Amino acid sequence: MADDDFQGGTNPRLASASSGTPKAKVHVPRVGTNTEVVAFASAVYTATQNTGDLENPSAKSLRLVIDVTLYAASASVVFTIQAKDVASGKYTTLLDSAAIVGTGETVLRIDPRLTASANLIAKDVLSRTYRILATHADGDAITYSVGLSLVG
């Protein structure tokens, strides 16, 4: 990319090599870009649903935050992160949460650098196309929101 490819004409990834008048520029590589997505906005949900296909630009890791704020006494929901196979178009499960049966926050992670932990962490990479599935045990109402961060 040229310096003038950016608004304002200055490439923010280039930094001055000295604090005075720059004699040379040093390239500062971008380590990664985090992307934040609202998978499910805060609302009352009663049935199984999914986000539809989501695109991963280049991240290897995903952090999914499920925030349940209200639930019926017998309500239960399981969240699943699924990768879509490019050849067949079929989905495979990367990670299932445990059944969520109360209020509170649950964090799921997919990251090749972390140690796997049942229902919380998958030691894997995130595929180019993926989706989030929320499977409700019954028609009881549960209020939740789900946000995710893609980490380079």
Query: pLDDT digits over 104-135, tens only?
Result: 999 999 999 999 999 999 999 999 999 999 99
Do 42 and 25 share a structural domain? no
Domain harbouring 105, CATH code: 2.60.120.1110
d(CA 81, CA 131): 6
Distance (Å, whole) CA 51 – CA 147:
11
Q: Which residues of the chain have pLDDT under 50?
A: 1-31
Count of domains observed in the chain: 2
Q: Does one domain contain both 18 and 59? A: no
100 with 53, same domain? yes
Closest Cα to residue 99, out of 123, 75, 116? Answer: 75
**Total-model pTM:** 0.78
Q: Which domain range does residue 25 map to?
A: 1-30
